[in-house]
Amino acid sequence: MSSLSQSMPLSVTTHSSNASLSSLSSGVGSGSGVSTPTASALSLSTASLLKKAAYHGAEDRIVLDIGSFSCKVGLSWEPTPRRTYIPGVAEKKLGCANGFHAKSISFVPASFAALLATGQTIGLVLDCGYQEACALSIYGSLPLIACSKSVPLAGYHVSKRLKELVCQYGHIVNNTLGTSSIEVSSHDHHQVVDILQKASDTFWETLKATIVVAYPTRKDWQSHHTSTCKNDSVHDEADISAYYDVTIDSFNVVRIPTWVGYVAADVLFEGNEEGETLQGCLLDTLLKCHVTTRLELIQNILLCGGTCSIPGLEDRLRYEMQHLADEHSNLKSARKLVSKINFIYSPFQPSQQAWVGVDSLT
């Protein structure tokens, strides 16, 4: 479920699948441009929606809620829409399809497509991209939309933490022309920050892919920061394992302590302002599922999305899930399950799994 659909109040408007576009758009209210639900639509409860599904059987009605800002689509028995689209984006997709004379368009969840790439039909999929991470349970090739959760923790937040740490603890060094040695620059902290702030997004993304590693267990990085600063090992030429030298331009090289890469990845597990974490997202999604399916799901966890390419993420996620289940009493039912955590092996890169899965459908 997208974050947009969760943050906006939603109305449920049912239409038959062969309804015309004019009848669908007739529910759009004037003034604010937001679709106005009827009294009968507002009175629908989850129980009545499920009862409606039993009446119609497999031929569920398609529900379209067309508004001036977004369009919502789903099935009649679902309590909330499956997807929320911005009209401009939808028009571009339809225009692309018309240009290629496509007879139909199929929308497949990226998490479901990634699971198909592994040949599995059961799995708990964590799709961690750039803006948010979404956990989705899939059982018998059926995505359980009600058993899903998304949190705003992904690659963007790792990049932001990395940039803050490099600006605070990084040192600019100068390349000595004509020699292979590197001399420490005399730039003050404000000049260092100014140089780093001017670095391109490509530089930061490349740096993230190069040095960010998920440490397998929790570590007291604060004491490590203190000892590093006291020993000043960043300037120690002999201790080459204590820092990275990364070229910014022809004249400047940034020297970064190695622990910066570990701390940048910790943002995914520490919790944001609302206390949300990746391990919490997975466990909450698991506990939403029926008790008879949980063991199979936790034994088939799949990580996909570009951020899941961070080395050591699987081991760290396993540790954090076990630690979280032991630490919180409300997760008592998951304590026996976390000892059976198993990740699905995939020969494809996490960022490529959804593409491979969709390709297998065509």
Listing from the earlier edge strand, what are the strands of the sheet with 133-139?
Answer: 142-151, 133-139, 123-128, 301-304
Whether the pLDDT of residue 310 is over 90: the answer is yes
Whether the pLDDT of residue 148 is over 50: the answer is yes
Domain boundary among 55, 72, 99: 99
Domain boundary among 216, 237, 265: 265
| pLDDT value of residue 61 | 64
Whether the pLDDT of residue 224 is over 80: the answer is no
Looking at the structure, do residues 115 and 194 belong to the same domain, yes or no?
A: no
Q: Which amino acid type is present at position 59? A: E
| pLDDT value of residue 64 | 66
Whether the pLDDT of residue 139 is over 70: the answer is yes
For residue 320, give the nearest of 299, 300, 302, 334 by alpha carbon: 334
For residue 144, give the nearest of 122, 127, 128 by alpha carbon: 122
Domain boundary among 227, 245, 265: 265
Total domains present in the chain: 3
Write out pLDDT tens, residues 49-101. 445 444 444 455 666 666 656 677 777 666 677 887 766 665 666 666 666 66
Question: Residue 51, Cβ neighbours under 10 Å: how many?
Answer: 11
| pLDDT value of residue 20 | 36
Of the given ranges (14-28, 294-308, 336-350), which has the lowest mean pLDDT?
Answer: 14-28
Could you give the CA distance from residue 160 to residue 256 in angstroms, rounded to a whole number? 16
Could you give the CA distance from residue 244 to residue 233 in angstroms, rounded to a whole number? 12
Looking at the structure, do residues 137 and 277 belong to the same domain, yes or no?
A: yes
| pLDDT value of residue 164 | 92
| pLDDT value of residue 40 | 41
Is residue 178 in a domain? yes
| pLDDT value of residue 357 | 81
Is residue 105 in a domain? no
Whether the pLDDT of residue 12 is over 50: the answer is no
pTM over 0.75: no
| pLDDT value of residue 177 | 46
Is residue 104 in a domain? no
Share of the chain above pLDDT 90, in %: 29
Better pLDDT: 40 or 126: 126
Looking at the structure, do residues 28 and 59 belong to the same domain, yes or no?
A: yes
Of the given ranges (89-93, 211-215, 249-253), which has the lowest mean pLDDT?
Answer: 89-93
Q: Tell me which range, 5-19, 116-130, 222-236, is most confidently predicted by mean pLDDT.
A: 116-130
Is residue 288 in a domain? yes
> Which tokens sit at 26?
């007739």
Is residue 117 in a domain? yes
Q: How confident is the model at residue 217 (pLDDT cuts 50, 70, 90)?
A: confident
| pLDDT value of residue 56 | 44
| pLDDT value of residue 28 | 36
What does the DSSP 8-state code read for residue 259?
H
Could you give the CA distance from residue 219 to residue 269 in angstroms, rounded to a whole number? 12
| pLDDT value of residue 160 | 93
Whether the pLDDT of residue 16 is over 50: the answer is no
Q: Tell me which range, 9-23, 217-231, 275-289, 345-359, is most confidently predicted by mean pLDDT.
A: 275-289
Looking at the structure, do residues 146 and 281 belong to the same domain, yes or no?
A: yes
Looking at the structure, do residues 278 and 144 belong to the same domain, yes or no?
A: yes
Q: Tell me which range, 197-211, 269-283, 298-312, is most confidently predicted by mean pLDDT.
A: 298-312
Looking at the structure, do residues 246 and 165 belong to the same domain, yes or no?
A: yes
Q: How far apart are the first and last CA of the chain?
A: 24
Looking at the structure, do residues 161 and 260 belong to the same domain, yes or no?
A: yes
Q: How confident is the model at residue 187 (pLDDT cuts 50, 70, 90)?
A: low
Is residue 200 in a domain? yes
Q: Tell me the mean pLDDT in the region 298-318.
A: 93
Is residue 136 in a domain? yes
Looking at the structure, do residues 162 and 261 belong to the same domain, yes or no?
A: yes
Looking at the structure, do residues 278 and 180 belong to the same domain, yes or no?
A: no
Of the given ranges (28-32, 114-118, 322-326), which has the lowest mean pLDDT?
Answer: 28-32
Q: Tell me which range, 23-32, 76-85, 313-322, is most confidently predicted by mean pLDDT.
A: 313-322
Looking at the structure, do residues 281 and 225 belong to the same domain, yes or no?
A: no
Task: Print the domain residue range for 350.
Answer: 110-153+272-361
Polymer length of the chain: 362
Looking at the structure, do residues 323 and 349 belong to the same domain, yes or no?
A: yes
Looking at the structure, do residues 78 and 116 belong to the same domain, yes or no?
A: no
- pLDDT averaged over the chain? 73
Is residue 286 in a domain? yes
Q: Tell me the mean pLDDT in the region 267-293.
A: 90
